Amino acid sequence: MEGPRAATAGDLPSIGVLVDTVFNCPSEGWMIDQFPTLFNERNVDNLLVVADGATVVSHVGMVERWASLAGCAVRVACIGAVATYESYRGRGYASQLFARACEKAKAGGVDIMMISGGKGLYRGNGAADVGRDFKARLDIAAARTIADPQAQLRLFADDDLPACAAAYDRKTARYIRGLHDWRDYLRSRAITNGDQRIHVVVRNGATCGYMVHARPNKEGRVDIVEFAGEDTAVAGTAHRILEDTGAQAVQFHLQSGDTVAQACFRAAGVELQPACTLGTLLLINFPQLMRRLAPLFESRAGFEASLDFAEDNGSFVFACGGLRQVVSSKIEAAQRVFGHRDVPAWDGALGGLFPAPTLWYGLNYV
C-alpha cells in the first residue's frame, strides 16, 4: 500500500473509476465530468490518495479558494468525492487522508473547511452545522404574486458571463471565482447534460441577474442552485421557472445577506424556514480566521473596541469590551462565529459581533 500521498496526473483515471464506483454513477467518467474544478491537473496536488499498486483505493478531494465574507478575504478548503472501495474499508484510510487534508489546508493558509457531508468522520473532528440562513418555497400562486412584468428569462449565452460574474461579486458572502472556475462550471456535466440550467434575468434590455436551477425532483420541486443580481427581478421571474418546467414549487436558499429577497418573499406570504448552509464547516485556523474577519468585527463593535480571539489547548477565547467567553468545543466555536439557530447569542458587546455571514456552495459544490 502506498499513501496517504498527493495524487499525480497519472492517477486521475484510477481516481475516476473509484469515485464512479463508490457513488454508483451512471457512466464511466461521470464524476470527473461533473466536477472539473476538482478533477483536473491544476488541482491534482489537492487530491489525496491511498493506492494499492497502480490502483487508487481511497480518495479525499479538496479545492482551495479565497472567499469574501462581508468584504473580508478568507481562505477556504472544500472537501468532496471522499471514497474508498468496499473491500478496503475499515483500515482507517479515509481518516488518514482527511487528517492529511486538514494538515495540508492549514499549511496552505486555509482558515475554514467546507465539507459536502456530515458523516461521523467529519463531525468527530469538529465539523459543525452552521449558518442562520433561510429556505423559501414558493408555489405558482406565491410566485405570481411577486412577478415582475418588466423582467424576462432567457438561457445563458457565453456573452453573459461578465454580467453574471459581476452580479455574483456583489453578494455579501461569496467565493472568489477566477475565469478558470466559471469556465469549468459551464462545461461541467451538470450543465452540459441539462441536469442544471442557467437562466439570465433581463430587465429593460440589460442583464440584471441569473438563476441556476436543477430539474424538478420527485416531489415536483425545482431547487435554485444559485442566484445573484437584483433580488426583486430574480424573484420576479420565479413563476416563469415553474411555468417552463411544470413543477409544483420552486425553492430558494437565502443567505443571511439576501435581505431584499427575504423581504420580497415575505411580502408574498411565504414563510421562511430557518436553515443551515449546505454540509458542515470545520475551523482550520481559528486565530488566523479571526484576524482576517477583524474589519467586520471592528465595524460592528466600533473601531476603538478591544478585541481578542485565541485558541489555547483546544479552547477558544472570545473577548470584546471587557467581556470574555471561553468555548471548549470546536463545534460550538464554529457555531458561535457563523451562527446556528439553536445557539443563542451572547449578551453585551460579544453578542453584537456574531454571526459572520456563511458561504453557500452554489456552483462551487464538490
Q: 195-238, pLDDT tens digit by residue? A: 999 999 999 999 999 999 999 999 999 999 999 999 999 999 99
Residue 53 scores a pLDDT above 90:
yes
Q: Which of 102, 108, 68 is nearest to 82 (CA)?
A: 102
- Residue 193 confidence (pLDDT): 87
Fold match flag (2-110 vs 133-275):
yes
Q: Which of 3, 112, 14 is nearest to 62 (CA)?
A: 112
DSSP string, 177-234: --HHHHHHHHTSHHHHTTSEEEEEEEETTEEEEEEEEEPP-TTSEEEEEEEEE-HHHH
- Each residue of 80-121: pLDDT tens digit? 999 999 999 999 999 999 999 999 999 999 999 999 999 999
> Residue 137: pLDDT band by 50, 70, 90 thresholds?
very high
Mean pLDDT of the 264-290 span: 97
The DSSP symbol for 157 reads -
- Residue 34 confidence (pLDDT): 94
Residue 194 scores a pLDDT above 90:
no
Residue 360 falls in which region: left (phi positive, over 0), alpha (psi -120 to 50) or beta? beta
Residue 305 scores a pLDDT above 90:
no
* CB-CB neighbours of 366 under 10 Å: 20
Topology of domain 2-110 in CATH is Aminopeptidase (3.40.630)
What residues does 252 pair with on adjacent strands? 136
| Assigned CATH for 133-275 | 3.40.630.30
Mean residue pLDDT across the chain: 96
Residue 192 scores a pLDDT above 90:
no
pTM: 0.95
Q: Which of 90, 97, 207, 219 is nearest to 154 (CA)?
A: 207
Mean pLDDT of the 29-57 span: 96
β-bridge pairing 315-320 and 307-312: antiparallel
- The alpha-helical segments, DSSP class H, found in the chain are 12-22, 30-34, 93-107, 120-123, 140-145, 161-168, 179-186, 189-192, 231-235, 238-245, 259-267, 286-292, 294-301, 330-338, 348-351
- Each residue of 322-349: pLDDT tens digit? 899 999 999 999 999 999 999 999 999 9
- Residue 303 confidence (pLDDT): 84
The DSSP symbol for 59 reads E
* Residue 115 φ/ψ, nearest 5 degrees: -120, 130
- Residue 30 confidence (pLDDT): 96
Residue 147 falls in which region: left (phi positive, over 0), alpha (psi -120 to 50) or beta? beta
Q: Which three cell numbers stand for residue 251?
A: 425553492
H/E stretch holding 86: none
Domain residue spans in the chain? 2-110, 133-275, 280-351
